[in-house]
């Protein structure tokens, strides 16, 4: 517990933030965050998890004002936020705040865009609210990481709900009192368990965070009150959900040091700690070509966190494969693939993948950085090859360019909504600051075969 009124001070900052307070470089990164998120939401729009969620929840929808991105369906804002949060995360291809492993945009953008279709707002206001939500989410995550994560909480869900409440509250113009209530309401709905990794439920977490954050702001606007110290109180969020809490990570340098500027974007559709392995194995494949067929064994030397998060030795489904460093290494070596196509049920069970996967071993080394890997291949003739990856492509040290973000967007979205719609949606996303956000959502709707005829 702290003597400072952390929740109140944070709420005051949110309610007082204007677009001119945000540096140009941070706003630019906010646009990149939105572009990446929208592409991921479209890429996951036809996933079986989306079909199941729509079948289950569509009968319970209220007035259908908000778009389910990449589909012809509409739902009420709460359920649209939930569904778009699911689709944006289900491929595990979304953005990552590397310090905390939070995927910031899923909860925040999913809630905010659903709200924008109900309550019109300018593109500038939308972007300001998006950045505010990402900043709040990541700062709150910083304050409890890694203790909170180590207890088994999925931090994208648990911290993401605060980001969604902050973004929606800012867009709605909540004053400091109501924003305080919104944050505390969000904290009491914070959840998401790491036990669900490798199942549809992992992507449910950012969806629920989006839905609950939006609900929190709407309730607070109506005068539904909550605790004044929902984050820092003796029985508040941090005390109950974490063994450690550092308030300075939330309030220190607020408005001066921007966590929202530190976002990164995945080149590979799986757990972020596997990326160095895929990067290294792709480099090896490019160097040795058909000699990959002569590999006798593969040794990965990694930080213990890599196996803790992605140590599934025998994945059976594509979703489980996203949490198997063994599958990812085999697939990158044999097929050069780390895109969503590497993590389908079919590819995970291919005989050649199974064969090489059985010859991949991982050694944990606490002296290795979490973002590094040392790969040693031994060939059938006894020769060896070693590759060290200090930081993978997509990291802050080797970030994706705008051109690479566009390629990623079009490749995954085009498979779901078609090339023309994908290009229109991409153009709209890049222009979000000058656009009507609701029109961006509508730009993702595919042309049905009936309409085309």
pLDDT, tens digit, for every residue of 63-76? 999 999 999 999 99
Q: Is 399 helix (H, G, I), strand (E, B) or coil?
A: coil
Q: Is the dihedral of CA 370, 372, 374, 375 positive or negative?
A: positive
The mean pLDDT value for 241-263 works out to 97
447 falls in which pLDDT band (50, 70, 90)?
confident
Q: What would the pLDDT profile of 417-426 be if each residue is shown by its tens digit?
A: 999 999 999 9
Strands (DSSP E) contained in 78-150 are 96-97
- Can you give the pLDDT at residue 427? 98
450 falls in which pLDDT band (50, 70, 90)?
very low
Q: What would the pLDDT profile of 59-118 be if each residue is shown by its tens digit?
A: 999 999 999 999 999 999 999 999 999 999 999 999 999 999 999 999 999 999 999 999
Alpha-carbon torsion, ordered 312, 39, 107, 48, to 10 deg = -50
The mean pLDDT value for 30-46 works out to 98
* C-alpha–C-alpha distance, residues 442 and 155, integer Å: 30
pLDDT of 453 strictly over 80: no
1 falls in which pLDDT band (50, 70, 90)?
low
* C-alpha–C-alpha distance, residues 234 and 312, integer Å: 38
Q: Which residues pair with 364 in a beta bridge?
A: 302
């Amino acid at each position: 517990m702290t003597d400072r009124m952390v929740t109140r001070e944070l709420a005051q900052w949110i309610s007082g933030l204007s677009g001119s307070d945000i540096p140009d470089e941070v706003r630019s990164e906010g646009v990149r965050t939105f572009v990446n998120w929208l592409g991921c939401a479209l890429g996951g729009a036809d996933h079986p998890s989306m079909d199941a969620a729509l079948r289950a929840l569509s009968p319970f929808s209220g007035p259908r004002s908000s778009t389910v991105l990449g589909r012809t369906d509409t739902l009420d804002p709460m359920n649209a936020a939930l569904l778009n949060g699911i689709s944006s995360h289900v491929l595990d291809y979304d953005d990552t705040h590397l310090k905390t492993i939070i995927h910031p945009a899923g909860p925040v953008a999913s809630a905010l865009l659903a709200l924008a279709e109900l309550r019109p707002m300018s593109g500038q206001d939308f972007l300001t609210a998006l950045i505010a939500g990402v900043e709040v989410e990541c700062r709150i995550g910083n304050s409890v990481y890694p203790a909170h994560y180590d207890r088994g909480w999925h931090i994208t869900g648990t911290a993401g709900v605060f980001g969604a409440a902050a973004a929606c509250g800012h867009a709605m113009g909540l004053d400091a009192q109501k924003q305080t209530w919104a944050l505390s309401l969000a904290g009491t709905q914070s959840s998401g368990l790491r036990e669900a990794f490798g199942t549809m439920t992992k992507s449910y977490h950012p969806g629920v965070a989006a839905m609950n954050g939006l609900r929190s702001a709407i309730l607070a606007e109506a005068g539904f009150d909550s605790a004044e110290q929902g984050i820092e109180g003796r029985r508040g969020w941090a005390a109950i959900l974490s063994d450690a809490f550092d308030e300075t990570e939330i309030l220190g340098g607020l408005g001066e040091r921007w966590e929202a500027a530190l976002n990164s974007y995945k080149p590979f559709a799986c757990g972020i700690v596997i990326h160095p392995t895929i990067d290294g194995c792709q480099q090896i494949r490019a160097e040795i070509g058909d000699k990959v067929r002569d590999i006798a064994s593969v040794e990965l030397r990694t930080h213990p966190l890599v196996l803790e998060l992605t140590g599934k030795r025998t994945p059976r489904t594509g979703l489980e494969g996203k949490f198997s460093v063994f599958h990812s290494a085999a697939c990158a070596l044999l097929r050069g693939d780390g895109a969503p196509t590497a993590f389908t049920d079919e590819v995970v069970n291919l005989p050649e993948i199974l064969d090489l996967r059985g010859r991949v071993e991982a050694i944990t080394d606490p002296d290795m950085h979490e973002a590094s890997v040392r790969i040693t291949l031994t060939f059938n003739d006894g020769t060896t090859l070693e590759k060290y990856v200090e930081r993978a492509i997509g990291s802050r040290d080797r970030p994706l360019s705008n051109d690479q973000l566009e390629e990623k967007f079009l490749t995954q979205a085009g498979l779901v909504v078609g090339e023309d719609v994908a290009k229109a949606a991409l153009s709209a996303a890049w222009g979000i600051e000058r656009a009507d956000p609701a029109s961006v959502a509508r730009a993702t709707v595919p042309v049905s075969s009936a309409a085309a005829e």
